[in-house]
Amino acid sequence: MGPSAYLLAGPAVAGSLALGWSGLEKIRNRAPLEAAVTALGMPPASASVAAIVVPALELGTVAVLVAGLPAGLASALFGVLGVTFAFAGLRSLLTGRSIACACFGASQRKLGWPQLIALPLWLFAAWSALHLPSTTMTGRLAALACALVLGTALRAVSALRLGLEARRDRRAFAGGA
Amino acid sequence: MVVAILLFVVSLLAVGEFLLFGALAEAYRDLRQIRENAGLVDKPTPVDMGGLQNKLASTCGLAPELDSVVQAVVVYLDRRCGTCRMIVDSLSGGLPRGMWLVLVLSAKEEGPGWLAETGLDQRNDLGRRVMFMSADEMQHHLGTVLTPLAIEVENGRLTRAVTIPSVRQFYAMVPMAVSLSTPSHQKVTSQ
């Protein structure tokens, strides 16, 4: 696999990393996505459905890439998700409401221009998915395992940092070890 | 095949750990939010000094020596206040350079007992930086009886006041003392 193949695969890999993180955060806590969908003017029943369908599509995209299913499917999923996110951003701008983005779980970031600006990137990832070099199942599983372990390590660092901060506060107020 | 299965299992475990750490981080954030709403965050709160801003320290009931000090922090402590007692317990006979204490008393007889608790002797240099004040006097000079309270003194004048929520914040307020006076100069001056 030459360097150009790696470059071509880059956007799809980056996109799948983002979708994987995003999907896992959404299945861990569906509330921020439900709140965002409701704030966009959708009925509550649709919000519950969206909170299941969106992370399923995100994680499904990653699963399609790892399983080596037809590239067109992964490409279509990248495209559908990118358009969905852009539509949410556009609707947020049109309603004029300040709606918290639930892209990677609960956050202070707002829906709007970032989702619209990201649309070309998602479409680029969709194109990149059509040009992925052929690899073995074991190779793809290895890449998935490495990405997940790295993502878990990053998650652990932020959790431990928050824990240390909480302990310092507790010791400052209540003393003890 | 075995390698593929192992990698799949590792991936599943990593997913589980990812979700767990995410839940843990969220729990700590929730805790912080509760503490912020309850006012239990270890962060000094600025206090409005009103008419006391830039007043000479001695005019506010403090030791006249503070009028000639370049930089100091005066800390008001009340025996009835839990955080104040924790600060006093942490001193163990040592008062950081640049820190001055005002022990707020409800009765004058409490003075010697408090001083003994700090481990400081008023006859030496450290003890010189401990003052006593009744709650009424503090109310009269500052317009409030709020402890633990820290007031920064620069060039003899009161500049900034903050609350001290913990022992950690007390020691964080210790001023960095920088002096241009060399030992040889001190020897000449003392002569």
Chain B's closest residue to A145, CA to CA, is B11
> Cβ neighbours of residue A30 under 8 Å, at least 6 residues apart?
A51, A52, A55
- Burial class of residue A3 in the structure, from the number of CB atoms within 10 Å of its CB (0-12 exposed, 13-18 middle, 19+ buried): exposed
ipTM at complex level = 0.87
pLDDT of residue A60: 95
Paired residues of B77 in beta bridges? B103
Quick check: B40 and A173 CB within 8 A? yes
The reported pLDDT for the residue numbered A77 is 95
Q: Please judge whether B10 and A149 are an interchain contact, meaning their C-beta atoms are less than 8 angstroms apart.
A: yes
Name the pTM for this structure: 0.69
Q: Which of residues 76-115 of A touch B (CB under 8 A)?
A: 105-106
Residues of A in contact with B7 (CB under 8 A): 138, 141-142, 144-145
Per-residue pLDDT, averaged over B13-23, amounts to 95
Distance in angstroms (rounded) separating the CA atoms of residues A35 and A99: 9
At A100 the pLDDT is: 86
Q: Which residues in B lie closer than 8 A to residue A31 (C-beta atoms)? A: none
Write the pLDDT tens digit of every residue in A21-32: 999 999 999 999
Asked if the Cβ–Cβ distance from A152 to B10 is below 8 Å, we say no
